[in-house]
Structure 1
Amino acid sequence: FLLDADLSRFTSSLSLLRLGNVSILNALKISSDTISNSYLRSSIIKASSRVGEGESIAKSLERVNAIPPLVIQMIQNGEKSGKLEDMLSKLSDYLETRFRNSTKIAMNLLEPLVIIILGVFVALIVLAILLPLIQLNTFTTTI
C-alpha cells in the first residue's frame, strides 16, 4: 500500500505542474522527485526519456513494469480524452483514499495484537514479582 502513497503524490504533482503549463518532460522529472521508492523513481525517469522520444505517457509507463495497470489505464484515458490533468487529479484522490483505507485496516488489525503483547508483558512482570513472594511464603510455612 506504500506504492499507493507514492503514486498519489506523483500523480498529484504531475497534475498541478501540467495545470501550470510546465512541459510534460519537465513535469515528469520534477514529479518523480516526490517518490520515495527508488525503483519506482528510476522507472518513472526511464519512462520520461521515452516520452521525450515521442511515445505516449501511458505506453512508456506500461513498458517499465512498475506501475499498476489501473494507473496506466487512467492516464491513457486522460491522454485520449485530452483531459490528462483532470484524470491525474482524480487518480491522485483515488489513490490517496485507497492508501488511507489500507492504513486504517492495518491499524485496526494491529491494535488487538499490540494489546495482547502488552497484556503478556504485564503478566510476566506480575509473575516475576509474585513468584518469589509465593516461594518465600511456602518456605516460611514449612519451617
Structure 2
Amino acid sequence: MSQRVWRRDAELPPADLDAIRDGVILHGRQQTQGSDARDIACGLYEDGQLIAGAWGRTEFQRLYLSYIWVQPEHRGQGLGGQLLRQIEAQALKRGCVDALIETLLDEAADCFEHLGYACVAYLHDYVPGFTRHTLLKVWQPRD
C-alpha cells in the first residue's frame, strides 16, 4: 500500500515546483489547438556586458512580453523603447498579429501607451500601492 505525504512550502524541491508549473502549462496547451510557444529575447550589450534586455514568448500569433529591463544607470536614454521595437520586429517576423504586456508600474504603462499599446484591463491595488495594467498592441486584427 502506498503512503501519501503532504509537503508544504520549502519542503517541496525546486524540481517539483517546476513539474507543477509545467504540468499546468501542458494541460492548458492540450486544451487548445495550434500552440507554437517559443521563447523570444533581445539584449543590448556594452563592452561585453548586458545593459538592457527583453524576454517573453510568442504563441498563438501573439507576443507575450514578460520582462523588459534596463540597468539603472542607462535608463532615460530611450533604450526601453528601442528594446521593445527590436522584440516586436522579431515577433512580427514570426507572424504575430498583436502583443500583450502586463506591468505594475504606472510610469511603464504610460510609456507603453505612448509606444502604441492600449490598456485593456487594470486591477487597482493588485499589490498594495500598485495597479496591474494589461496592455495590448494590435498590428493586424484577428479574424
User: Whose relative contact order is higher, 1 or 2, with alpha carbons under 8 Å and at least 6 apart?
Assistant: 1
Whether the TM-score (by the shorter chain) exceeds 0.5 is no
TM-score normalised to structure 1 length = 0.24
Higher strand share: 2
TM-score normalised to structure 2 length = 0.24
- Tell which structure's C-alpha radius of gyration is larger: 1
